[in-house]
A and B are shown apart, each in its own frame.
Chain A
Amino acid sequence: MPDLLLDVQGLETTFKTPDGVVHAVNGVSFGLKEGETLGVVGESGCGKTVTMMSVLRLIQSPPGKIVAGKAFFFGQDLLQISNEDIRHVRGAQISMIFQDPMTSLNPVLTIGYQMEEPLILHIGMSQKQARTRAAELLGMVGLPNAKERLNDYPHQFSGGMRQRVMIAMALSCSPQILIADEPTTALDVTIQAQITDLVKRLRDELGMAIIWITHDLGIVAGLAQRVIVMYGGYIIEEAPVRELYANPRHPYTLGLLGSLPRVDEKEHTRLFSIEGQPPVLYQKPEVCPFAPRCKWAIEHCWKENPMLESVAPEHRIACWVDTKTGRAL
């Protein structure tokens, strides 16, 4: 498909650990269109971060290893290009915001220095131009007294402000794609609302594509146009956002949505709960990875791992069962 900005195919990443090889990502394929916001949801350990870090070649090796896959971006495979080229892509074209801003900000350097460096390095600005641009960016993300604050160190900012700084840094070279890895998980709801509001505004102004990783199905509902649900290193469901919430088809997605209490809950009903817990895969599964927890499982689920297949326009699931009828698809 030529209209895809990013086209990831068959990505597989493993980690060598003392307990064995962990199959973290097991053949993940997805596309991202220009200007689109893609939500990636799933529970802890399902492979969200590793998928995106693999695409950007940020997986430490060893213990990590990208075993298979392609990731096309403007005609080149990010998994094949030189180290220097991928560094440039990361610096100027695809930026990533990490869950904990303190791990990606250097505590002993001023915010100004950390913001100016990539502008000088990747765009070739002068020190003075970079300074002006950095102040502009901080203003853009709504930080008061942007200019003075350039001389401050990360610890002088609150959690919400640091996350704004991270967003400003990520936007500094006007990337085509912004990958945000749970950027609001550690923040209070009122601050979270400030940040998601900011991101929506910037997206509309700048027109960049966004990949938003989260375990919060509420945030994704208000932010994304399309959603990918991951489980055990696989994409198990993919659909446009309204379709996904109106017609979830995979038993895991159904379970997740059913297990959420809602702030607009009409009456008290017992929460649906998925028994058991998410797997750590020491072997690439030959059966459906969700089968041990699945209420819908049929015999075939224990024989073969389902592939992602279309069930409606733009709606794909990896499941042998039609949850609408309870029978095999």
Chain B
Amino acid sequence: MADENNVLLRVENLVMHFPIYRGVIGRQVGAVHAVDGVSFTVKRGETLGLVGESGCGKTTTGRTILRLYKPTAGNIVFDGVDLVKLKGEEMRQMRRKLQMIFQDPYASLNPRMTISDIIGEPLIVYNVANAKEIQERVEHLLEIVKLNPAFANRYPHEFSGGQRQRIGVARALALQPSFIVCDEPISALDVSIQAQVINLLEDLQKQFNLTYLFIAHDLSVVRHISDRVAVMYLGVIAEMASRDEVYKSPLHPYTQALLSAVPIPDPVEDAKRKRTILEGDVPSPVNPPSGCHFRTRCPIAKQICSEQKPEFRELRPDHFVACHFADQFVN
């Protein structure tokens, strides 16, 4: 396992179930198993990519780590402190170090606030600077994200998607966090703008020694930006390893199928590839399949897969897989 001193975040058996209520008295009739027992670590200064299809629990994982939800079970150890045990003011102070960048640059900024107010707000909320310092800091932050400081008094609607995402990044940086959850920060942007934001995030990481949990469904982007990658399926992590291990020698049948489904922008290479086309859709997280969550779509599933939950095993150094039959892929 990783050197403890190097670990900034350790998530252990995290479970987040959202109760479903029905009827006039609001009886609980079930739960959405959004995150169903997830464990991983993120080392200082690295980027852990979290990929998976829509609804598999990526955002919920990110939000639960920031304690925007109260987890159903599990521990979230950040810099040696278990966030799950923190109360009120303690958590509020801790939250300064953990920030989030959101997917939708249109919905995540208050349209009635100026850019300067949006970026400076966290500084006011935490009362860490006076008016003059805030103004200076905001201008500095705008420069950091490569926006013209002269724009400080404009409103969000005057900016393009890529510029708004930069504003979101500047706000996230205001309190000098050490950890940022980037939740699909580029999915809503145009292709040519995506590269601008990815490059910016990479530069900032180096400059401020930031640690990222980078959530995305685009496997190409995740490969580009991550040091290690965790692949989620229906509330659980199917596979986790270094980027090269995951992309070059995937051990889980889901990762293999997912990778083979990604189109490559090169007709010659694309024609050479072998595709595994998964059948059907992701099942509902209200009633996940017994045993292995992936078994209903898995091309190699056998009886045991419906009976026993596969253990998350280290089949190669630092390469973890939850599949009963993954050994055959280790060469």
Binding site for B on A (CB under 8 A): 43-44, 158, 160-161, 188-194, 196-197, 215-222, 241-242, 245-246, 255-257, 259-265, 268, 270-275, 277-278
Contact = CB atoms under 8 A, between A and B. Distances in A.
B221 A261 contact: yes
B199 A218 contact: no
Given A193-B275, A265-B220, A255 B264 contact: no
Interface stretch (B118-126, B186-194, B306-314, B317-325): B186-194
B193 A277 contact: yes
Contacts of B162: 277
B160 interface: yes
Contact of B267 (A222, A272, A278): A222
Contact of A256 (B191, B202, B262, B266): B191
A233 B54 CA distance: 32
B247 A263 contact: yes
A59 to B, nearest CB: 23
Nearest to B54: A188
B48 to A, nearest CB: 16
B192 A255 contact: yes
B263 interface: yes
Given A189-B261, A218-B265, A245-B265, A263 B192 contact: no
Given A215-B190, A215-B191, A261-B224, A190 B196 contact: no
B101 to A, nearest CB: 18
Interface in B245-261: 247, 257-261
A189 B219 contact: yes
B304 interface: no
Nearest to A269: B224
Given A215-B190, A268-B224, A192 B195 contact: no
Given A259-B192, A260-B191, A262-B220, A222 B199 contact: no
The 7 closest A-B pairs by CB, nearest first: A218-B263, A261-B224, A259-B195, A193-B261, A273-B195, A188-B53, A271-B195
Contacts of B225: 261
Contacts, number: 129
Contacts of B257: 190
Contacts of B217: 188-189
A158 to B, nearest CB: 5
| Interface size class of chain B, counting residues whose CB lies under 8 Å from the partner chain | 35 or more
A16 B196 CA distance: 32
A260 to B, nearest CB: 6
A106 to B, nearest CB: 23
Contact of A221 (B219, B265, B277, B278): B265
Contacts of B265: 217-218, 220-221, 245, 257, 260, 262
A264 B272 CA distance: 12
B220 A261 contact: yes
A295 B268 CA distance: 28
A264 B268 CA distance: 13
Given A260-B191, A277-B160, A245 B221 contact: no
A271 B224 contact: yes
Contact of A263 (B196, B202, B262, B268): B262
Most A CB atoms within 10 A — which of B190, B258, B279, B282? Answer: B190
B229 to A, nearest CB: 12
A197 B277 contact: yes
B67 interface: no
16 contacts: A189-B217, A189-B219, A194-B279, A221-B267, A222-B267, A242-B267, A261-B220, A265-B224, A268-B224, A270-B199, A272-B195, A273-B195, A273-B196, A274-B196, A277-B160, A277-B192
B160 A271 contact: no
B271 interface: yes
A277 B190 contact: yes
A163 to B, nearest CB: 12
